[in-house]
Amino acid sequence: MEGRVYARLDQGVDSFLRVAATLRRKEFNIKALNMVSSENSGVDMEVQVDNCERTINDVVNVILKLADVKEVRIS
């Protein structure tokens, strides 16, 4: 079972790479990263992680600390 975290980012591909590199450094067990451009200048990012509540909350906390992130939600 896996959980999904969605984030809306400001700076396009640069923001996506910054978030991906941060998650890699923190050594989370990420199953997949997806990026879709949105109508405005930003992008939407989907992160699939193991469905461990602690892991999902840790991922959200790390993503929220980054300046490029507008919004984060868990699905």
pLDDT at 41: 66
pLDDT at 44: 92
Please give the average pLDDT of every successive group of 10 residues along the chain, which has 75 residues.
89 90 91 85 87 86 92 91
First to last CA, the chain: 12
Give me the number of domains the chain comprises: 1
Q: Dump the DSSP string for 18-73.
A: HHHHHHHHTT--EEEEEEEE-SSS-EEEEEEEES-HHHHHHHHHHHHTSTTEEEEE
Give the CA distances from residue 31 to residues 10, 44, 51, 70, 74, in Å, rounded to whole numbers and listed in that order. 23, 17, 11, 23, 15
pLDDT at 55: 86
pTM summary value? 0.85
CATH of residue 16's domain is 3.30.70.260
The answer to whether the CB of 60 falls within 8 A of the CB of 3 is no
Residue 29: which domain range? Answer: 2-74
pLDDT at 11: 84
